[in-house]
Amino acid sequence: MNTRRWLASAALLTLVAGGSAARAANLIQNGTFDTNTTGWTNVAIWDGTRDANSNPNSGSDQVPITSSGPVTCTDSVQVVPVSAGTGYDASADILVASALTNVAGQASVNVDFCSDANCAAWPSTIVGSFSMGPANNSNALDTWLHVASGAQIAPAGAQAAIIFLNPCANATGTFTANFDNIVLQPAAIGEVPTLDHGGILLLAAALAVAALLALGRART
């Protein structure tokens, strides 16, 4: 292989290894709440007056909790299928609505991986979990707070993930959180290296070194 071919091969493999992979579709159904809360169960109230992107034609999921004691929580819930060993990115936007809140609290997005389809036997089938947030009266009062997880690998045995949009009131009173732009999607290749991807990186590096050596020989 001549010097130009070495250089071309190295550049191509480096581009393939280091470039951003196209992301798969969001696994969440109706994560932007454009017109309703379809796909979400338990407490899910569509709010057409609050949208994280300030889109007048969209809205968000409003989840209020009224507490009569110490910490009390509720949630909107959705279950999606996942593949064990696959990396997933998650993100969301959360707002605490001051007009509907008279007590301190916090809101988060919690994800549990389950070893059974549809998380039907949750919580006994939890094999892993992660959380995003919290948003509270200090950092998200009438302001959208963006939260993200970074790449999370579904543990061995995971078949599904259950997503909770979860506000909690810390004392007697009402705490209301809005949620928008809920995302759970396979991570880009560059974020969760696999053995195959690592092999490509090593091969690209080896070819780059070989190309430089070949170039040096061609100049002498």
Q: What is the pLDDT of residues 150-167, one digit of tens each?
A: 999 999 999 999 999 999
CA dist., res. 145 & res. 78, Å (int): 21
CATH class of 23-187: mainly beta
Q: What is the pLDDT of residue 188?
A: 82
Give me the residue spans of the domains in the chain. Answer: 1-21+189-220, 23-187
More confident residue, 200 or 194: 200
Average pLDDT (175-194) is 83
- Encode pLDDT of 26-61 as tens digits: 999 999 999 999 999 999 999 999 999 999 999 999
Beta strands in 48-151 (DSSP E): 60-67, 72-73, 76-81, 87-96, 105-114, 126-136, 145-148
CA dist., res. 179 & res. 196, Å (int): 37
Q: What is the pLDDT of residue 167?
A: 98
Q: Would you call the peptide bond into 134 cis, given omega within 30 degrees of 0 as the criterion?
A: yes
**38-47, 93-102, 109-118, 210-219: which range is least confident on average?**
210-219
What single letter denotes the amino acid at residue 130? F
pLDDT at 124 over 70: yes
Q: With 0.95 as the threshold, say if the pTM is over it.
A: no
Task: Give residue 24's pLDDT band: very low, low, confident or very high (50, 70, 90).
Answer: confident
Task: Give residue 146's pLDDT band: very low, low, confident or very high (50, 70, 90).
Answer: very high
CA neighbor of 18 nearest in space, from 200, 209, 208, 152: 200
